Amino acid sequence: ALAVALVSLAAAAWWTVGRAPLRAQGVGGSRYRTGSSSAATWPRTGGSTGRHGPGRCRSGSAATASRPACCPCSGNAVRDHGKLSFTWFGPVPRVMIPDPDLVREIFNKFDQFGKPKMIRVGKLIATGVVSYEGEKWAKHRRILNPAFHHEKIKRMLPVFANCCTEMVTRWENSISLEAASEIDVWPEFRNLTGDVISRTAFGSSYQEGRRIFQLQEELAQYLTEALQKLFITGYWYLPTKNNRRMREIDREVRKILLEIIGNKERAIKYGENSNDDMLGLLVESNTKQPELGMSMETTSVLLTWTLIVLSMHPEWQERAREEVLHHFGRTRMPDYDSLSHLKIVTMILYEVLRLYPPVVLLNRRTFKETELGGIKYPADMNLILPILFIHHDPEIWGKDASEFNPGRFADGISNASKNHDVSFFPFGWDPRICIGQSFALLEAKMALSMILQRFSFELSPSYIHAPYIVLTLRPQHGAQIKLKKI
């Protein structure tokens, strides 16, 4: 381990001394304070050298009701080093781009800025369309698009409804009529979203799908620990207990998938099954690893934060309930058209996605030497697009940026912030915008409506507000809510 650490340190040192700084192109420095260096050059040696990898992030006492205290892309790096700062991930420099205009430029020039090279271990959780580039990405995205067409998603509504009914019925049966009962909604929502995605994506192979998501959940935990050490070159290849377990999980997931896919391929071949469901399309796109594990995570954290925040803001909980009861009464199953027309609920979900974006940052890489915002970056530079930071920036959202105020979305997303179109991007941005956005929002609306129809809720005294990051932004100590039947 020592040898590997030394190799890594040597690599980092090589990077620092072995690359000549690049001069800014004829501009009087960048628009930002640039660490301790006044010239807009890159790389600099005066910026932060701390490793703000996702795994290092822990919430602390400074967390407020609406804002995570510590995050690689929240205030710490900016406070210490200015808006434009960089960190080292082993030998790879990472620069944070907290300016919506530059973020838009990066999205628009997707032939110049691509996905970062995947570290070996990252491939365990995110291969497929989410990591592909160029023609390969376009081909796979084209194949997958039909599965997420709104007509297809509309047809999935009964699955959403059944899974949500199972969950709220279980809650109803477990709590008494008179008193409020405590329930940790975080594992409940993980279960729900795992159910939904397994049933919609894997159909009759649902049980195997569930097993895959359980394994991916376990993998996420190991991965988070590993992320703190992965900057050490070759760490992944050490036979540590965690690394061995991660490999085992990978093997098991692949085995289950190959079996499911083999069955599906046979069914398609003999005309027993159509290939236009999600799994069929994944098979057609030759995806041997489903990129669906993360989707279950992201949707479940959205629902979890929504219940937490509505517990903190009973007035918005009441407004949402009024709207839901107006459309569906206390017993009617929410239908697609009415769900699409819920205004208050949609505003609330957007505001939760602003304050607690499940994906806190996006990563991009420069393909070649590239100029951005007056600074020239070398090839293979890692750029961080800090969703969480931009969503909380008072310069964009006003003085109440860290307050929960769904009213700011009353006139739609484009009027919610001050003139920046890329200031709210919990689902990323074109052309690589999240393919499952409508799927996730519909599922969240269905679950929230059915909960509001049946229960009122408040925070339990045992709840500790501690947003932290294990791949997604989640509540570190669970989400204990007191539910009361209404």
Q: What residues contact residue 51 under an 8 Å CB cut-off, 6+ apart?
A: 87, 88, 89, 228, 231
24 near ligand HEM, rule: CB under 6 A? no
Work out how close the CB of 383 gets to ligand HEM at its nearest, in angstroms, rounded to a whole number. 11
Closer residue to ligand HEM in complex, CB, 358/475: 358
Q: Which span sits near ligand HEM by CB under 6 A: 93-101, 158-166, 288-296, 411-419?
A: 288-296
Helix (H, G, I), strand (E, B) or coil at 290: coil
C-alpha dihedral (272, 278, 279, 284), degrees to nearest 10 = 90
Q: What is the DSSP letter of 64?
A: B
| 105 to 112, 117, 144, 370, 425: CA distances (angstroms) | 10, 20, 26, 12, 14
Quote the strand ranges of 47-124, DSSP E.
Answer: 86-89, 92-96, 113-114
455 near ligand HEM, rule: CB under 6 A? no
Closer residue to ligand HEM in complex, CB, 151/315: 151
Range 100-129, binding ligand HEM (CB under 6 A): 129
Among 47, 98, 358, 386, binds ligand HEM (CB under 6 A): 358
203 near ligand HEM, rule: CB under 6 A? no
Decide: 208 and 260 in contact? Cβ < 8 Å.
yes
Among 59, 76, 191, 298, binds ligand HEM (CB under 6 A): 298
291 near ligand HEM, rule: CB under 6 A? yes
362 near ligand HEM, rule: CB under 6 A? yes
Q: Which span sits near ligand HEM by CB under 6 A: 67-75, 223-231, 331-339, 420-428?
A: 420-428
292 near ligand HEM, rule: CB under 6 A? yes
Amino acid type, 274: S
Strand partners, 485: 455
Range 124-183, binding ligand HEM (CB under 6 A): 129-130, 141
Of 190, 240, 184, nearest to 216 by C-alpha is: 190
Among 40, 69, 281, 302, binds ligand HEM (CB under 6 A): 302
Work out how close the CB of 266 gets to ligand HEM at its nearest, in angstroms, rounded to a whole number. 25
Strands 382-385 vs 92-96: parallel, antiparallel or unpaired? parallel
71 is in an annotated binding site: no
299 near ligand HEM, rule: CB under 6 A? yes
Decide: 220 and 470 in contact? Cβ < 8 Å.
yes
Phi, psi of 481, deg, nearest 5? -125, 145
Residues near ligand HEM (CB under 6 A) are 129-130, 141, 291-292, 295, 298-299, 302, 358-359, 362, 426-428, 432, 434-436, 439-440
Annotated binding site for heme, which residues?
434
